[in-house]
Structure 1
Amino acid sequence: MNIYRERPNFIPWPPLLLVASTLMAILLGRVAPLPFEFGGAFVLGIVLIILALGIDLWAMRTLHEAQTTILPHRGSDYLVDHGPFGFSRNPIYLANMVLLVGMGCFSKNAWFLLLAPVDGVMTHFLAIRREENHLLAKFGYQFEAYCRKVRRWI
């Protein structure tokens, strides 16, 4: 039996990585602040935070309506390819990175900006690859066709 068929992971990496990145940025901002000034950073931060939260809520609602899991370490019951998943295979993880950038602009803490791509790379290797293996094992050709239509990030 394919180990990915039942569930992609045993640990919910993406939310843990988001929290770790946020805490690390706050800590590093206090211990070793980086200069970060540009006009409109505060407003841009608010816009990005609202955008990220909107994408997250839209994606979670879409998953809920499809009656499949929102939790990244649980197995999917349905391949969702509409809503935000019609634009990105990982809209929640993309929104997490936008949220980090928004928090960096809002707080004028450049560590958020530096840790956003680190969060994305870690999410890719710890979650996305395993989730894609899970979806391929569970949905086969249907998932392959979806991957040909929709990019992983944007």
Structure 2
Amino acid sequence: MSTDNSLIDLGPAVPFPPPLLFVGGIAIGVLLDLVLPLPAVIPDARWVVSAGLTLVLIGLGCMFAGILTFRKFRTAVYPNRPASTMVDSGLYAYTRNPMYTGLTTAYLGGVLLTGVLWVLLLLPVVLTLLVTQVIRREERHLRERFPEAYADYCARVGRWF
């Protein structure tokens, strides 16, 4: 018996977990620093560590709040599955991407904690890949699945804040 695969909705079809972009940026930055160190531009001070930890905690808090909101509405968290509903409450009332905003905030905390300039220099690459390989796919999927609701949502809520 054959099945018609054209009827299978893969959602945004993002082929990897998006947090890997952020973890990869930090890991590659640290490895680059071992091979080709750049001058330290972040002071080695207690307040820098405190600020870094604060950013990591705030960022992870935003990410987990976004995940919990998706779970509450029983919609896909991982973007290789279709969305079952359009979520626009909780942090999603303020940003269309609280999980990615949170990961970016945590990444910036990682910059402070590692003190590695390469990690900071790789952030634009990470964000470019995030937008082109993840967010655009998610937005396309939501436009197709919830055309009117998503257009209204985009008019009210910015991508980041």
Give the TM-score normalised by the residue count of structure 1.
Answer: 0.90
Alignment of 1:29-40 (within 5 A): 29-34=33-38, 35-38=40-43, 39=45, 40=47
RMSD: 2.0
Q: Does 1:82 align with 2:89?
A: yes
- Identical columns (%): 30
**Corresponding pairs, count:** 153
Kindly provide the amino acid, as one letter, of the partner of residue 117 in structure 1.
P
Q: Does 1:19 align with 2:19?
A: no
Alignment of 1:55-70 (within 5 A): 55-70=62-77
* Aligned mates of 1:8, 1:93 — CA distance in 2: 15
SS at match of 2:129: helix
* Aligned mates of 2:133, 2:78 — CA distance in 1: 14
Q: Answer whether contact 1:48 1:101 (CA < 8 A) is retained.
A: yes
Moved over 4 A (4+): none
Name the counterpart of 1:107: 114
Structure 1 residues without counterparts, runs of 5 or longer: none
Q: Answer whether contact 1:60 1:70 (CA < 8 A) is retained.
A: yes
Structure 2 residues without counterparts, runs of 5 or longer: 1-5
Kindly provide the amino acid, as one letter, of the partner of residue 37 in structure 2.
P
Larger Rg belongs to: 2
Q: Answer whether contact 1:97 1:119 (CA < 8 A) is retained.
A: no
- Deviation of the 1:6 alpha carbon: 4.3
* Aligned mates of 1:10, 1:152 — CA distance in 2: 18
